[in-house]
């Protein structure tokens, strides 16, 4: 189950309350400092279902740093080396980690973005069909790998905007929005905003996200479809284009079935416009539906 931390809670008291152990809670959640758990934070409380091989709650595709975190601890928790985690997040001093930062926790396929671009170009068949496994493993996961390459991703992604396959163009626009660096990007995206279709919607969202990051609002993301927020008072509609801030990434809900079977995965978010906080559902394969 998911438990929301209350004022003055400790891991010892929470473990005792639910008949489990501190060690079990630490095994289910990314917690670098057991003496610090934040009020309002959702914790995955392990039960018999938690024996499933699931990632820890708290990371994927990003992790929000907390007081007491170290890069060594985070890297160990997400299965990366400290050096690699620092590299993909452009961290020059691994000993200087700011609380509240959003760290990318997705690795790289290749040494260069040009090789990823080649994979994106050669995956669709002659009729531009992309199977579900490739759509997730190559394009969805790849959209975060572009972030790890940084500015070197801009030119290959701009070239992918001319790809004959619409799905490739859509994923390239999503990736540019997630990368959220300008350069020549805004000028290249504006023509895609002219049509009244999904590609146009995504292009407008990507442009907005680039603008938000240019104002230092790196942690503000934008929803790509209509969805809902599960709160203590019930479900709230969240229309496409809503701005959200993720408070905790990847929160498995083992008591609810996901859209493709298995368990549901949510992110714990706050709606910027209203301040409402709750669980925002992910799509199949635990894919986020916002840029």
Per-residue pLDDT for the chain (291 aa), expressed as one digit of tens each? 999 999 999 999 999 999 999 999 999 999 999 999 999 999 999 875 555 578 899 999 999 999 989 999 999 999 999 999 999 999 999 888 999 999 999 999 999 999 999 999 999 999 999 999 999 999 999 999 999 999 999 999 999 999 999 999 999 999 999 999 998 999 999 999 998 899 999 999 999 999 999 999 999 999 999 999 999 999 999 999 999 999 999 999 988 888 888 899 999 999 999 999 999 999 999 999 999
Instruction: Tell me whether residue 291 is in a domain.
Output: no
Say what the pLDDT of residue 218 is: 95
Model's pTM, two decimal places? 0.95
Instruction: Tell me whether residue 151 is in a domain.
Output: yes
Of 104, 129, 155, which residue constitutes the final position of a domain?
104
Say what the pLDDT of residue 49 is: 55
Of 37, 71, 104, which residue constitutes the final position of a domain?
104
- Which of these, 180, 181, 280, lies nearest to 220 by C-alpha position? 180
Full residue range of the structural domain in which residue 8 is found:
2-104
Provide the CATH number for the domain around residue 242.
2.30.30
Say if residue 96 is in the same domain as residue 52: yes
Instruction: Tell me whether residue 226 is in a domain.
Output: yes
Say what the pLDDT of residue 96 is: 87
Say if residue 251 is in the same domain as residue 200: no
Say if residue 213 is in the same domain as residue 233: no
Say what the pLDDT of residue 114 is: 98
Backbone phi and psi for residue 24, each to the nearest 5 degrees, phi listed first:
-65, -40
CA atoms of 285 and 144, how far apart (whole Å):
15
Write the DSSP assignment of 206-255 as a string of letters: HHHHHHHHHTT-TTEEEBSS-EEEEETTEEEEE-TT-EEEEEEEEEEEEE
- Cβ(177)–Cβ(202) under 8 Å? yes
Backbone phi and psi for residue 188, each to the nearest 5 degrees, phi listed first:
-75, -30
- Planar angle of CA 88, 144, 278, nearest 5 degrees: 110
**Structure tokens of 271?**
């709606």
Say if residue 75 is in the same domain as residue 121: no
Say if residue 84 is in the same domain as residue 164: no
Provide the CATH number for the domain around residue 54.
3.10.350.10
Count how many domains the chain has.
Answer: 3
Say if residue 73 is in the same domain as residue 85: yes
């Amino acid at each position: 189950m998911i438990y929301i931390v209350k004022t003055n809670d400790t891991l010892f008291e929470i473990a005792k309350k639910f008949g489990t152990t501190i060690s079990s809670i630490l095994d289910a959640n990314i917690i670098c400092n057991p003496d610090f758990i934040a009020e309002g934070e959702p914790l995955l409380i392990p039960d018999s279902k938690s024996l499933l091989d699931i990632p820890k709650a708290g990371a994927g595709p990003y992790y929000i740093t907390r007081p007491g975190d170290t890069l060594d601890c985070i890297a160990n928790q997400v299965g990366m080396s400290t050096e690699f985690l620092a590299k993909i997040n452009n961290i020059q001093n691994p000993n200087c980690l700011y609380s509240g930062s959003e760290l990318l926790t997705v690795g790289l396929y290749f040494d260069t973005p040009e090789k990823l671009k080649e994979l994106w170009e050669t995956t669709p068949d002659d009729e531009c069909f992309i199977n579900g496994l490739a759509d997730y493993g190559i394009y969805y996961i790849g959209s975060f790998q572009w972030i790890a390459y940084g500015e070197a991703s801009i030119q290959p992604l701009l070239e992918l905007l001319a790809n004959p396959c619409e799905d490739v163009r859509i994923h390239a626009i999503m990736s540019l929005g997630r990368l959220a660096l300008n350069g020549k990007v805004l000028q290249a995206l504006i023509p895609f905003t002219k049509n009244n279709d999904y590609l146009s919607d995504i292009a407008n969202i990507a442009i907005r996200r680039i603008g938000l990051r240019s104002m230092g609002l790196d942690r503000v993301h934008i929803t790509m479809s209509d969805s809902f927020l599960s709160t203590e008072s019930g479900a709230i509609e969240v229309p496409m284009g809503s701005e959200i801030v993720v408070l905790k990434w990847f929160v498995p809900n083992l008591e609810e079935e996901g859209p493709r079977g298995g368990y549901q995965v949510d992110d714990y978010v706050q709606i910027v416009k209203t301040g409402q906080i709750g669980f925002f559902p992910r799509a199949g394969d635990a894919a986020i539906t916002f840029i």
